[in-house]
Amino acid sequence: MAFFRIAFFTGCLLTVPAVAQAAPVLMISIDGLRPGDVLQADARGFKAPVLQKLVGEGVYASGVRNALPTVTYPNHTTLITGVWPAKHGIANNPTFDPQQQNMGGWYWYAEDIKVGTLWDAVHNSGGKVASLSWPASVGARSIDYNVPEYWRAHIPEDLKLLRALSTPGIIPLLEKRTGLTIAQASGEEVDEDVGSARFAAALIAAKHPMFTTVHLRGLDSVEHSYGPGSSQAKAALQTLDKAVGELVADARKAEPDLVIAIVSDHGFAPLDHSVNLIGPFIKAGLITLDANKKVSAWQAEPWGGASAAIVLANPADAALKAKVSSLLNDLARKPELGIVQVADSREIAKMGGTPMASFWVDFKPGYEMGTDPADPPVGPAPIKGTHGYFPGHPEMRATFILVGPSITRRGSLGEVDMRDIAPTLAKILKVSLPDADGKSLL
């Protein structure tokens, strides 16, 4: 009888389906990558054979509806949290700083993220986490091997800051393994992205992290300078495509079960016009400048670019709110300014934008807010492309491609919500992300 019970129990074990094991994940962000530049690469004149091959081997989104505003830092934080900026706290790229006390500082620090991240979930489950140049990653305690994105003066002296903020020993290790310096593997140029991709491959081979995040910034920089779809943007994507192919191939040698997630934070639109939104606020007495043309006092301040959050010094002041609302509505009635919507706090909340904003001005693609209060009401834009508009604009859609041995589905997922990407990766990694508002796409 004892033998029968043992045999029966063993037979039952053999019939239980195997539980899928967690797979390591490499998430590569190509900043500013428009989904159509991969999905319709041939028709648009782009060459991206590696990314096209990944599309064919896994699942992909026709477009990713992203966060308000459609800029780098809020969206990269949504990618690792599964919530909008109103919850995760990374409201924009630069911090709100009307009097420039922060001297142009950005949301660099992980301590500003108010919810749990994929980094936290993997680290807390016992997995190792690695990251290279990911936004809002400075000081992230759950990243075991971290070279964060950080700068101050855009000069070589910044590299001392980067070394000080990175995980001790990790930069010398990567420099030795690749033969590159940190100066060749960090920054906003495409060539530096190629170096960063080589750093990422070396990091995965050396440390075998369960979850790795990598941010490549060069395409975004080129599209700002020359415009989306320009010959320079096409050359940049071709270079990055090759670098991604080498990274994926090398990383899979170290981790054969690796799942690759290719993402972007936003799309891009051509830019022609710069709108002086600050001037009317000065004229209305809402902003006061000193003798050096710097803000000395303010009651309401625009904050942004292609769309502009309007922050009130005292949001509870009904008279101030009414004055600002009247001013914005008057401006929106001037078609030459290119304003397509003035959202109030209720509409901002629906889009998940920061509650710091009492109003939010959205320009139509081709227009953005300028920064010089002495400029004419509308003038030529200083750059050729931009993003940051409301997420409803099709031009702002981001990219998502997912491929790996454990990803058995194939084909299009249709248009997806960016909040669903983090829960999808959490499912692959077999970790819990309780703060996320999104759902798994698998």
Would you list the DSSP string of 180-215? --GGGSSSSSHHHHHHHHHHHHHHHHHH--SEEEEE
User: Is the pLDDT at 4 greater than 90, yes or no?
Assistant: no
| % of residues, the chain, pLDDT over 90 | 94
Same domain, 254 and 280: no
Q: How far apart are CA 417 and CA 101, in angstroms?
A: 36
Token pair recorded at residue 25:
């994940």
pLDDT of residue 243: 98
Q: How far apart are CA 159 and CA 210, in angstroms?
A: 27
- What is the domain-level CATH number for residue 105? 3.40.720.10
Domain count, the chain: 2
Same domain, 254 and 155: yes
Residue 14: inside a domain, yes or no?
Answer: no
pLDDT of residue 440: 97
Mean pLDDT of 393-421: 97
pLDDT of residue 306: 98
Q: What is the pLDDT of residues 161-209, one digit of tens each?
A: 999 999 999 999 999 999 999 999 999 999 999 999 999 999 999 999 9
Q: How far apart are CA 283 and CA 438, in angstroms?
A: 43
Mean pLDDT of 280-309: 96
Same domain, 79 and 38: yes
Same domain, 216 and 281: no
Which has the closest alpha carbon to 270: 306, 308, 316?
306
Unique residue bearing structure tokens 């855009």: 154
DSSP letter for each residue of 123-192: HHTT--EEEES-TT-BT-TT-SEEE----SSSSTTHHHHHHHHSPTTHHHHHHHHHS--GGGSSSSSHHH
User: Is the pLDDT at 12 greater than 70, yes or no?
Assistant: no
Same domain, 279 and 414: no
Same domain, 137 and 173: yes
Residue 304: inside a domain, yes or no?
Answer: yes
Same domain, 325 and 212: no
pLDDT of residue 154: 87
pLDDT of residue 2: 42
Residue 363: inside a domain, yes or no?
Answer: yes
Same domain, 231 and 280: no
pLDDT of residue 136: 98
| % of residues, the chain, pLDDT over 70 | 96
Which has the closest alpha carbon to 25: 118, 150, 149, 155?
118
Same domain, 170 and 95: yes
pTM of the model: 0.94
User: Is the pLDDT at 339 greater than 50, yes or no?
Assistant: yes
Same domain, 221 and 311: no
Q: What is the pLDDT of residues 117-145, one digit of tens each?
A: 999 999 999 999 999 999 999 999 999 99
Expressed as residue numbers, the domain containing 301 is 273-382
Same domain, 317 and 260: no
User: Is the pLDDT at 412 greater than 50, yes or no?
Assistant: yes
User: Is the pLDDT at 217 greater than 90, yes or no?
Assistant: yes
Considering the chain, what is the average pLDDT of its residues? 95
User: Is the pLDDT at 18 greater than 70, yes or no?
Assistant: no
Q: What is the pLDDT of residues 84-94, one digit of tens each?
A: 999 999 999 99
Q: Which residue has the higher pLDDT, 267 or 12?
A: 267
Same domain, 85 and 168: yes
